[in-house]
Amino acid sequence: MKGLIGCFAQRYIAGTHRAEAIEAARRLNGAGLRATIDNLGENVEDAGEALLTVKEYSSLLDDIKDSGVAATVSLKLTHLGLDISYGVARDNAAEIVKRALDLDNFVWFDMEGSAYTQRTIDIFLDVHGRHPNCGIAIQSCLLRSAGDVALLIKEQAAVRLVKGAYKEPPEISYALKRDVDKNYAALMRELLLKSAMPAIATHDRRLIDEAVRFASGNGIPKGSFEFQMLLGIKRGLQRSLAADGYRVTVYVPYGVNWLPYTLRRLRERKENIFFVLRNILD
């Protein structure tokens, strides 16, 4: 079963080593796309392992600089020890963002399940207050996100707007996909109007078209926001937006801990589940 999912994973993951992620970024750059590189991993429970994550990100930032590829990095706080303690994750994240600052780079904080939302925002704001070269993902599936977006706009922090990849309790989230999408559109308009360089991170053609229409209708220049998509999804759309003069960044994950990320990609599209089931049954 893991072998089959591994086969499926190849579409979404650059490889197991950061050299493969750098190569993927180089190929994307050749097609007019930028990259944000993520070292896969989450829910680390050992402080030594969290420190290895910091070391890996530091080497990744060095390799980005040395190779000259146009790429930022993306990280998860539970990969840096948030399950161990708030302080461990904050200090590790601050070290990576400082290293990125020294190398003239930028760090995106991914958003994990809702058990981590408040702590992720708190750590992000702490680090952002010291080093402004970082941004944070906000999920339109959560009821709280309008308030979070307003706060982040006030703090002049870059926001990556996503729908949300985690199953959330009904008391705190929108149950219906159409409500998640409606909230996405509302938050997207707010960010386009008020935030510096927001990232519209979706493969949803309807929302992308709405972003294009809304930006042009409100005199928002193409260079003042960006689209973000995941490696292996809607490659044609990524390239056509770039060809139309939009900034497009592709999220490039790599590493040996690819299973949780791959399962999230599998779950979010029923055709993917059918693909795996078909191969099991064949």
Ligand X SMILES: Cc1cc2nc3c(=O)[nH]c(=O)nc-3n(C[C@H](O)[C@H](O)[C@H](O)COP(=O)(O)OP(=O)(O)OC[C@H]3O[C@@H](n4cnc5c(N)ncnc54)[C@H](O)[C@@H]3O)c2cc1C
Say how far apart CA 247 and CA 242 lie, in whole Å. Answer: 6
Give me the least distance between CB of 11 and ligand X, in Å please.
8
Q: Is 165 in the site for ligand X (CB under 6 A)?
A: yes
Q: Is 222 in the site for ligand X (CB under 6 A)?
A: no
What residues contact 132, with CB distance under 8 A and at least 6 apart?
Answer: 156, 157
Binding range to ligand X, per CB under 6 A, among 142-150, 151-159, 210-218, 226-234: 226-234
> What 3-state DSSP class applies to 38?
strand
Identify any residues that bridge with 162 across adjacent strands, giving them in sequence order: 139
Give me the least distance between CB of 158 and ligand X, in Å please.
13
Q: Is 251 in the site for ligand X (CB under 6 A)?
A: yes
Nearer to ligand X, 81 or 168 (CB): 168
Considering only residues 113 through 152, tell me which ones interact with ligand X, judged by CB under 6 A.
137, 139
Give me the least distance between CB of 41 and ligand X, in Å please.
14
Binding range to ligand X, per CB under 6 A, among 53-61, 115-123, 151-159, 161-169: 161-169
The DSSP element (H or E) to which 135 belongs, if any, is strand 134-139
Binding range to ligand X, per CB under 6 A, among 62-70, 79-87, 88-96, 228-236: 228-236
Tell me if 117 sits within 8 A of 144, measured CB to CB. Answer: yes
Q: Is 272 in the site for ligand X (CB under 6 A)?
A: yes
Catalytic residue among 18, 160, 247, 265: 160
Tell me if 168 sits within 8 A of 140, measured CB to CB. Answer: no
What residues contact 227, with CB distance under 8 A and at least 6 apart?
Answer: 199, 200, 201, 202, 208, 211, 238, 241, 246, 247, 248, 249
Tell me if 100 sits within 8 A of 107, measured CB to CB. Answer: yes
> What 3-state DSSP class applies to 36?
strand
Give me the least distance between CB of 250 and ligand X, in Å please.
8
Say how far apart CA 57 and CA 38 lie, in whole Å. Answer: 9
- CB-facing half-sphere around the CA of 162: CA atoms within 13 A: 20
Q: Name the packing angle between helices 270-281 and 2-9 (round to 10°).
A: 130
Query: How many chain residues touch ligand X (CB under 6 A)?
Result: 22
Q: Is 255 in the site for ligand X (CB under 6 A)?
A: no
160 is a catalytic site residue:
yes
Q: Is 158 in the site for ligand X (CB under 6 A)?
A: no
Considering only residues 185 through 214, tell me which ones interact with ligand X, judged by CB under 6 A.
201-204
Say how far apart CA 153 and CA 135 lie, in whole Å. Answer: 11
Give me the least distance between CB of 97 and ligand X, in Å please.
16
Residues serving a catalytic function are 110, 160
Residues in contact with ligand X by the rule CB under 6 A:
110-111, 137, 139, 162-166, 201-204, 228-230, 233, 251, 265, 268-269, 272
